[in-house]
Homo-oligomer: A and B are copies of this chain.
């Protein structure tokens, strides 16, 4: 972990020539969900601040309201230290290409200076970015899609890249939230049972199964092995072992009473 993990505020989403206000709203929602808030618009082909945009933004419409509208891509990315253009795979002149995950992976290095800015540039719904616009980018990023149906909705494309950026940020800022070291995830309500707890449980289980005459140690088949495999796979917590042993004690009591 760095002393200063990068900030998601150092990332800007730039939408070029957007046609549908609903998509601008959807982009704002996807950004705010992932903790991004810097949205810039370049020559939108629609009125962007409409009721449809507000509706799709679903509470993130302040990002749309605050978004500056630029006449040129250059002015929207003027202060960016890395400009990344979303692109279908390039054809004539290949350009340095990142996957979304590689994009996330490079953010720590790119955004270590506090004044560094990364701009992620998305093109028109129907035709993407022009070659001219793509050639103003340091890198291109391509979301791997089904080759037979490759055109992502604009808000969906922003969602995927913003998600990867947030994942990269979480790994720096909150590594425990990015991937949990716990077998079940971050939060659990009882500590895991220890090996000794489990062995005491298995001993108790076997005694109880004998008591209820389900298990005959002279003809063990694979019963205890199968039960071990089941419970060990589940990795019981201390509370669960306590409950199970309570059940076993109740079984033994009934078995004793029935003699």
Contacts and interface: CB of A to CB of B under 8 A. Distances in A.
A168 to B, nearest CB: 11
Interface in A164-211: 166-167, 170, 177-180, 183-189
A59 interface: yes
Given A159-B159, A166-B144, A152 B33 contact: yes
A185 B30 contact: no
A26 B153 contact: yes
Nearest to A97: B185
Contacts of A186: 89, 97
Helix, strand, loop or mixed for chain A's interface?
Answer: loop
Interface string A146-168: 10011111011001100100110
Contacts of A150: 33
A6 B157 CA distance: 25
A93 interface: yes
Contact of A187 (B60, B94, B155, B170): B94
Contact of A99 (B33, B34, B180): B180
Contacts of A188: 94
Interface string A123-156: 0000000000000000010111110011111011
A59 B29 contact: no
A29 B163 CA distance: 18
A242 interface: no
A215 interface: no
A177 B60 contact: no
Contact of A93 (B98, B101, B189): B189
B94 A149 contact: no
B156 A94 contact: no
A187 B144 contact: no
Contact of A33 (B35, B95, B149, B177): B149
Contacts of A90: 187
B144 A177 contact: yes
24 contacts: A26-B156, A29-B156, A30-B156, A33-B150, A33-B151, A34-B146, A56-B153, A90-B187, A93-B189, A94-B185, A94-B188, A94-B189, A96-B183, A97-B180, A97-B187, A98-B185, A101-B179, A144-B166, A144-B167, A144-B177, A145-B166, A152-B159, A155-B156, A159-B160
